Structures are given as C-alpha cells and as structure tokens.
C-alpha cells in the first residue's frame, strides 16, 4: 500500500519548491543539491508539511568527433559526426516521510522520494 493511498479521499497534494536554484554555488560536475519543499493537501493548505529533499544538478562531459569510416558506410555517408553525451542523473533514491499538519485535529504522514546519490550517466529521454 503506497503512502498516498492512505490519504483521505479527495485529498490531492501540491508540491511547492521554496528555494531557488543557484548553480554558481554548486561547482563543476554532478552533485546532490538540497532544497526545501512544501507539500499542501489543497490550494488552501488545509494540510501542509515541509521537508528538505535533494535533486541532482550540474553537468557532465559531452563530446563530438568525426565518425569512423565504418559508421559512414553503415549510414550511407549521412552520419559524419558522432556524439557522446552524459547527463547528471539520480543513481540512488530513498523515501522520506513528511508529516502533514492538518489544523489541531490530526496529522497525516506521507512518503516522497529524494535523491540519495548522483552520477553522470547516458542521457535518457524517459528520465526527464
């Protein structure tokens, strides 16, 4: 049973990021970057909670070079440039529990994912 299925019916969650990205402070490479999120049950914030989670930000090396003759032959001389690129991606994730405060009556706890480790890896469209 997922944490979201334990929420009362009709409770939809809104995720708000409250810290802006500052790429200059990160430095070169692919890194974990912390930011504070606020989760609300609805636009009025009937139930809400905050937690620091992590994302993977930064950059990885990419290159382009003339294609080998075998690639040129196989492509009918249409692919004369070969490129190799990597993207900064999450390599390990973990669940964190966020307690939603709903007035003075009750508190609900949900689980969300946060990045635990990052790495440069093959760029995949399905990850973004």
- Delimit the domains of the chain by residue range: 4-59+87-119
How confident is residue 43, by pLDDT bands cut at 50, 70 and 90? confident
Q: Helices in 15-83 by DSSP H: which ranges?
A: 69-74
Report pTM. Answer: 0.63
What are the tokens at 86? 């990597």
| pLDDT for residue 53 is more than 50 | yes
Q: Is the pLDDT of residue 25 over 60?
A: no
Question: Which of 18, 10, 11 lies closest to 110 in space, CA to CA?
Answer: 11
Give the integer Cα–Cα distance in Å for 31 and 56: 6
Instruction: Name the more confident of 97 and 6.
Output: 97
d(CA 120, CA 128) in angstroms, rounded, equals: 14
* Band of residue 44 on the pLDDT scale cut at 50, 70, 90: confident
Token code pair at residue 67: 């294609």
Residue 81 reports pLDDT greater than 70: yes
């Amino acid at each position: 049973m997922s944490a979201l299925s334990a929420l009362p019916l009709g409770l939809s969650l809104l995720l708000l990021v409250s810290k802006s990205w500052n790429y200059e402070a990160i430095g070169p490479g692919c890194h974990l970057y912390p930011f504070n999120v606020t989760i609300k049950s609805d636009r009025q914030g009937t139930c809400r909670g905050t937690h620091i989670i992590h994302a993977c930000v930064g950059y990885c090396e990419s290159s382009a070079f003339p294609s080998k003759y075998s690639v040129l032959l196989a492509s009918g001389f249409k692919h004369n440039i070969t490129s190799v690129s990597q993207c900064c991606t999450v390599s390990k994730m973990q669940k964190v529990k966020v307690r939603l405060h709903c007035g003075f009556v009750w508190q609900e706890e949900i689980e969300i994912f946060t990045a635990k480790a990052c790495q440069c890896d093959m760029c995949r469209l399905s990850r973004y």
